Amino acid sequence: MPIASGPNGVFNLRGASAGQAHLGRGGLRFNPVLLSENRTAFFEEIIPHEMAHWLVFHLHNGARLKPHGREWKTVMRDLFGLAPNVTHQFDIQKAQSAPYRYQCDCQFHRFTARRHTLVANGRRYRCRHCAKTLVYRPEVAS
């Protein structure tokens, strides 16, 4: 599958994600709020991260590979000269409306209404740091 041209980029992504690669549709989506607050990091990390997904998809003829697998890591290291980091460390307060407060053993987490509803329907989330299940802790007005 020859690569005719680069992907289209749109800036309509909301929430905590900085970027997404929509491979079959040939486009990359970016979060304009996170871009405006983290301009340098966005150009140095997020855009190459999403471009690596796009390149792997096209270099492997659209084969279904692990999103952050060996091929993606190779593109990140060898082509872009970057550590293959999967997640960003941006402050997402302004980018995400997350009024539901959850707690683990090490910190508080904010959930969107959608994620909060998933928990109410039985879904469980664990902290990436301490691995404890997150528990809803409504804020008490003082």
Q: Is 45 among the residues known to form the active site? A: no
Catalytic residue among 37, 44, 50, 71: 50
DSSP 17: -
Cβ–Cβ under 8 Å, residues 92 and 13: no
Catalytic residues: 50
